[in-house]
Amino acid sequence: MNSLFDLSGKTVAITGGGGVLGGGIAQYLAAGGAQVAVLDLKLEAAEAVVSAITTAGGRAVAVEINVLERDSVRNALDQCVKAFGPVDILINGAGGNHPSATTNPQQEFFDLPIEAFRKVMDLNIIGTILPCMVFGKAMADREEGIILNVASMNAFKPLTRIPAYSAAKSGVKNFTEWLAVHMAQEYSPKIRVNAVAPGFFLTNQNRFLLTDKDTGELTARGQSIINHTPMNRFGAPEDLYGTIVWLLSDASKFVTGITIPVDGGYSAFGGV
């Protein structure tokens, strides 16, 4: 069983690796013996994750990347290869929402700045597609590799207030399915592409939308989420690890083109 899930010696590149979820994933994979390139727009955030990994005895390197610029992504790949050799696994963790693309009582959908909407769409969709192009080409040349995208429960059920993010993550899910077929048919069946769809996790981005900054109590939106999550809590980064290891290892070697919800039962609950 251990060998089936073994990732030791694999080289993993993870975009958005300086964030709460990305950083946690990076540290977990490194603890399991993988060599991890932590890619982030904020180099200091990536370096902090790398420091935690190396202190624990793991192997990692911090790499600055702008997932919206092809030259930056190519440079990041070059640095990964220089540090650890060919990249076996790409995790596209970069993404996020923006307050200006969110509706609220003071900002109707009809008045959302289209530039803010476009920024969210670009970060989540282009920020996934472009690394797939660059790192995926290297995998196609080697005829093997694994790509794991990070979608969201928004890909299955659009949430109120965040139209751009919901549409973008739906696009990530659809693109995952398309790319899985394309890579297997056109290049190699040993190249697999899947995605995870986290439910509601507390991150730096949404923490104070779901909990009160001063009291720590749930906001009305946070309470509504808990009410619709049968397991009655938010997700923690470690709740993703088992699913991710399964999708990255030989345990799922006949699995491609799927998006797995990790959501505490949110997608199964009908509200009553």
Residue 15 has pLDDT above 80, yes or no: yes
Q: What is the pLDDT of residue 48?
A: 98
Clarify whether 241 is annotated catalytic. no
Residue 208 has pLDDT above 90, yes or no: no
Residues 57-101: tens digit of each pLDDT: 999 999 999 999 999 999 999 999 999 999 999 999 999 999 999
Split at pLDDT 50, 70, 90, the class of 21 is: very high
Tokens (6 digits) for 6: 């073994």
Residue 46 has pLDDT above 80, yes or no: yes
Query: In this structure, how many other beta carbons lie within 10 angstroms of the beta carbon of residue 69?
Result: 12
165, 187, 241, 266: the catalytic one is 165
Q: What is the pLDDT of residue 155?
A: 94
Q: Does the pTM of the predicted model rise above 0.75?
A: yes
Rounded average pLDDT over 227-256: 96
| CA-closest candidate to residue 147, choices 14, 30, 58 | 14
Euclidean distance between the first and the last CA atom of the chain, given in angstroms as a whole number = 39
CB 93 within 8 A of CB 49: no
Cα Rg of the chain (Å, integer): 18
Q: What is the pLDDT of residue 126?
A: 98
Residue 213 has pLDDT above 90, yes or no: no
Q: What is the pLDDT of residue 121?
A: 97
Domain with CATH 3.40.50.720 in the chain: 3-199+238-262
Residues 109-144: tens digit of each pLDDT: 999 999 999 999 999 999 999 999 999 999 999 999
The arrangement of secondary structure in 3-199+238-262, i.e. its CATH architecture, is 3-Layer(aba) Sandwich (3.40)
Rounded average pLDDT over 223-232: 93
Percent of the chain scoring above 90 in pLDDT: 87
